[in-house]
Chains A and B, each alone.
Chain A
Amino acid sequence: MLFIAKAALGVGATLALSTAYVFHEGVIRVDVDENRDGGSHVHFWVPATAVSGGLRVVPRHYIQHAAEQSRPYLPVIREVAKELEKYPDAELVDVRGPEHHKVRIAIHGGRIYIDAVDKENNIHVSVPAETIADVANRLEDAAPGI
């Protein structure tokens, strides 16, 4: 009985620790709703650690290809993400137009929120700033000097 209790405690502690590790960087959340017939509705959330960790196991040529495509923007993305970590709460861009058209880029609690809403589309994305910097760094490391 004591053995089972110890084993349960071990499994429980491991689960708690691994859950804490998986979610320590936060969650990437994407919600896309197209308000028309046959429009797509995409809702998913992924632990940010899965993205950073996933980049380690993706075959190198895929990473290099992604780095080639995004190379001109990587230094800017990395700097912006790094700087945004210093400003945990701010409304960076807010555009409001006719018919509830709205675009908003804000940072709250170290997460970047991008919302784009109009009559037909409703898009909400939130990503931890740390994850963006991490991905930019990994892409640059994977393909230096491209």
Chain B
Amino acid sequence: MNELSRGILRLSAVLVLAAFTLLPCASLAQNSAKSDQWIHVRVENKDEGGETVRVNVPIDMAVKVLPAIKHNQLHDGKVHLDCAHLDDVDLRAMLDAIRSAKDGEYVTVQSNENDVRVAKNAGYLYIHVTEKKHVAHPKKNAEGKEATSTNPGHESKVEVKVPMKVVDALFSSGTDELDIVAALRALSSNGDTELVSVKDSENTVRVWIDSKNVTD
């Protein structure tokens, strides 16, 4: 084997080694780019010619931009709560209790007007509220007089699903502050999640996160 052949062989060996060393890095870089999460908001009005609003924001961008906004209660990416004990309910104590409790259904309210369900399952906090709107129908009774009866009409459903670590991050800064930036950071480390879904007869609202930069 002459000098030239040896040189080519060495060069090939170095290139193969470099390829095997760098390829996983390139793949990692691609994966990290893919992990960029976007928060999407879609509001659709069901009326004829109703509006449709679609908002797509990269979570990383929101994390950087929010601290620059100083408006009313929002400062440094945190929302100041005027009263941490809302209506004598200690939110922090309640969340601490939920965090340390086992998975399960904590609140179930079923009434003629509303159904409310608060549950924790597999690291997620679920809040489901169904508001029942009754429609009054005038009916004639046996004596021929008009009486109104109420039938279940249009329902409006609110479904919120929040990872517990996001709730923790939200209340991480202080007793009277909501740390939005920390919550967004926690959200971005979470996978694709549907956060909020509101459905009623007039509007549909969806808030979710995924790695796509466009709405479906």
Contacts and interface: CB of A to CB of B under 8 A. Distances in A.
Given A80-B65, A95-B51, A101-B51, 14 more contacts: A78-B68, A79-B64, A83-B58, A86-B60, A87-B61, A90-B58, A91-B54, A91-B56, A93-B54, A93-B56, A94-B215, A95-B52, A96-B52, A98-B51
Nearest to B213: A90
A87 B61 CA distance: 9
A31 interface: no
Q: How large is the interface on B (under 10, 10 to 19, 20 to 34, 35 or more residues)?
A: 20 to 34
Contacts, number: 61
Given A90-B213, A91-B56, A91-B214, A84 B61 contact: yes
Which DSSP category, helix, strand, loop or mixed, fits chain A's interface? mixed
B65 A79 contact: yes
Contacts of B56: 90-93
Interface of B: 49-58, 60-61, 64-65, 68-70, 213-215
B214 A95 contact: no
A86 B32 CA distance: 14
B87 to A, nearest CB: 34
A72 interface: yes
Nearest to A82: B64
Contact of A95 (B49, B53, B68, B70): B53
Contacts of A86: 58, 60-61
Interface residues of A, number: 23
A83 B54 contact: no
A75 B68 contact: yes
Nearest to A83: B61
Nearest to B36: A87
A37 interface: no
